[in-house]
Structure 1
Amino acid sequence: MTTLTHAAGDSATMVARQLRHMLRYPSMTLLLAGVPVLLLLLFVYVFGGAMSPGAAGAAAGRAGYLDYIAPGIILIAVASAAQGTAISVAMDMTEGIVARFRTMDIARVSVLTGHVVGSLVQAMLSAGLVTAVALLIGFRPTAGPAEWLAAAGLLVMVSFALTWLSVALGLFAETVESASNLPMPLLFLPFLGSGFVPTETLPAGLRWFAEYQPFTPMMDTLRGLLTGAGGGGSGAAAVAWCAGIALVSYLWAKRLYNRDPAA
């Protein structure tokens, strides 16, 4: 058996372990997916009529606002799943299971690979649930098959980048409690971008931050793909942010994992 085959087999085992955890403890998955759904319903039905009052009144306003905020809520769902990854990694590190894995003849890379791939599956399930709810309450994307495929690819890239960041945060955290708090800014950044209101409506200082933070081009690109609103050339920026976050986070996570005292 070659080294690559050995690593692939061990990684598949660790991915299966993470998926079994999802099935045995569905409350975490439901919580991570449920919060974005509640945010979607809250903003559409409580604020939608006031935020985008259409010519036909509050109902038309809610419909237009739903089309605007749905992409942002979908990305919040992806970020929520990443928060669960930090908790899962911290639990493995603090409960000693990783130290036990290191005494076994398994590829070292497989442990983190299992967390990353498992989180990707969870993130896509959460994003799919939010999208389904948005469609049920009136979200009407105009995307064709190519745009839907591109949107799915973008979500996978965002999830991959945020997952590696959360893995690094989980390794960095000294306790499970701190690991649950460190990724929280990922949930708030969409609120400080173009997720809920156009950036041009924000005050000057906040507008500058909103236009140059990573979530804004991601949300603009996803919105442009799904609704034909146009991303203003934000696609390249979104891909660049995803690649940069993923690379830096992977190198950070690898360094933290390799220098752990239990190694």
Structure 2
Amino acid sequence: MDQGRDDARLGGADIQAVSRAAQILRLFGPHRPKLTATEAADQLGLNRTTAYRYCASLVSEGLLEKGAEPGTFVPGGLLIQLGAFAIGRRRVVDLAPTYMRDLCTATGLTTVLSLWGSTGPIVSRVEEEMTRSTVVTVRVGTQLPLVSAQAKVFLAHLGDQLRVQRLVGGLPDGVRAPLAGEVAALVGTDDVALGADGYGIHAMAAPVFDEYSVCASLALVATNDMLELDARSEAAGHLREAARALSRAMGGKPPAEK
């Protein structure tokens, strides 16, 4: 029983520490590019020693750095990295609609933009060709499986390949080996990945790059009679060119252009 109470107290303390750290980080902004522990203490009603310990801990984790002026702290490299990553994710969603609509018009098929989540691609935007009698709809927010065309694109180009190996390693033997082969063939290229759900829906996906790495996948989704799984098809060519154009708009270069 005592151990349970200790664990509960520790959990509460951990949560409070995270909350305090977030409060300190929120003090930074255009009006306050640097901060002292004293200022943090005054703003948040903390003991000055406690505020300094929090700031020092944030420095050790890369979220803050010591400023040029003695006693000051500024946003750290990790915070800047995460911020740039988050901005990039939002930017591709903002830039994509024009390219998606053009692709949708050129092919007459549903186009899907996906971003990488914690364990797979998340559908973030969808454009549908409403003039067709049959339209495949994909819900925004859907997490796609690792065997999907969109996932194959990410698995081939994500920088953390150890994480990729862990994700793929958790799949059944009969799925893991074929998937690993398809992903390996995509590495170092911007080739189109192919996928089918086994229920008559086909998809093909191409990577979108920013200045750092793959930032999204752009895909075509349709019924099997409307979308042939052929990476050399006309539809695949339209998809590849749309993904390349969006990559250039994001400041990235597909492997074929490097």
Q: Higher relative contact order by CA 8 Å / sep ≥ 6: 1 or 2? A: 1
Which protein is richer in strand relative to its size? Answer: 2
Larger radius of gyration: 2
Structure with greater helix percent: 1
Please indicate, yes or no, whether the TM-score normalized by the shorter chain is above 0.5: no
Query: TM-score per shorter chain, which class?
Result: under 0.3
Q: TM-score, normalised by structure 2?
A: 0.27
Structure-1-length-normalised TM-score: 0.26
